[in-house]
Structure formats: structure tokens, C-alpha cells
Amino acid sequence: MKATGTVHKYGDNIDTDVIIPARCLNISDRGELASHCMEDIDTEFVKKVRSGDMIVGGWNFGCGSSREHAPMVIKENGVSCVIAKTFARIFYRNAINIGLPILECEQASDAIQNGDRVEVDFDTGVIRNLTREESYTAAPFPAFIKEIIDADGLLNSIRRRMGK
């Protein structure tokens, strides 16, 4: 499985309050909630992002509270992958649980710039920066995580295994 998109780049310690502000958590409509994604640091994000685009962050992406809304609004905006140097542990698990691919790769995080076109091969972990003609390697997903992502989330993966 591969994804190709334009990069929206952010720095270190992008916390869940920045990804989706707490003041918006009473919004029950997913689309409306997603319209507030990243608005406190990038008021144009939801206007700029296109289906397949990617987010690149630095250290500790998704830190802060354990709200599962954060990866959900990223995915709802059509983001195909998040690449960062590291992820907060709970964000990592929440992202996998909803089927949002995330990859840790310090080299890619350092080299990729805002607006670059990037292709990710989830089977091999190879990240190709099409703009700069460079490649970086992240660890590919283990089979059980790949199964969850391919099924578009943990619940769908369980349903598949149960034949439902």
C-alpha cells in the first residue's frame, strides 16, 4: 500500500490541544469537528489540505491529553499519513486504532519541507521525497498493525477476523 501527497509541516511537541482545541470537543458532527483541526497554529490548514496529503512533525507529536479526537480529525481531513521523529504513546495507539498510518523517521522529519510532495510505501517503510529526490527509511508496520490499518481501524479489523 502506498500514499502520495503534499506535506504540511509542523514542529516539535504538537499536542492534542493544538490538533483539536478542547473548546471544540462538544461538537458531535465529525465533519464540523474536523473543520477545527490545527486552527490554533495554522488557520488555513483545513482550507489547504487535500485528500492524500501528509503531516510531518518533529519530536513528541500528539503529546498532551489522550483524546482520540486528535487522530480522528486529522484522518477526517483526508490526511493519508503522519510522519514524525517520535509520537506520544497514546496518540500512536489511537491513530492505529482508527486506521491512520503514522511513521517515525527522524531523517525524514528533518529533511522534508512544507509543500514537498512525498510518497510513502507502507509495506517497506520507504519514504520518498519526490520534490527533493531523496529517500528515507522508517520501520514498516508489523503484520498485525498493517492489518488494522488496511481494515481502516481496529474495530473493522476485528469484524473481518470474525467474518462479519
User: Can you give the pLDDT at residue 107?
Assistant: 98
User: Can you give the pLDDT at residue 163?
Assistant: 81
End-to-end CA distance of the chain: 24
- The alpha helices in 6-123, defined as continuous H runs, are 16-19, 30-34, 45-48, 69-76, 89-98, 106-111
- Residues paired with 56 in a beta bridge: 9, 83
Look up residue 20 and give its three cell numbers: 483539536
- pLDDT per residue, tens digit, the chain (164 aa), is 899 999 999 999 999 999 999 999 999 999 999 999 999 999 999 999 999 999 999 999 999 987 889 999 999 999 999 999 999 999 999 999 999 999 999 999 999 999 999 999 999 999 999 999 999 999 999 999 999 999 888 988 889 888 87
Domain that holds residue 112: 2-162
Question: How do 54-56 and 81-84 pair as beta strands?
Answer: parallel
User: Can you give the pLDDT at residue 119?
Assistant: 98
71 vs 20: CA distance, rounded Å = 9
Coil/strand/helix, residue 26: coil
122 vs 124: CA distance, rounded Å = 6
1 vs 18: CA distance, rounded Å = 29
Look up residue 103 and give its three cell numbers: 511513521
What amino acid is encoded at 75 in this protein? K
Q: List phi, psi (to 5°) of 135.
A: -130, 150
CATH of the domain at 58: 3.20.19.10
pTM: 0.94
C-beta of residue 14 within 8 angstroms of C-beta of residue 62: yes
132 vs 115: CA distance, rounded Å = 11
46 vs 35: CA distance, rounded Å = 6
Structural domain total, the chain: 1
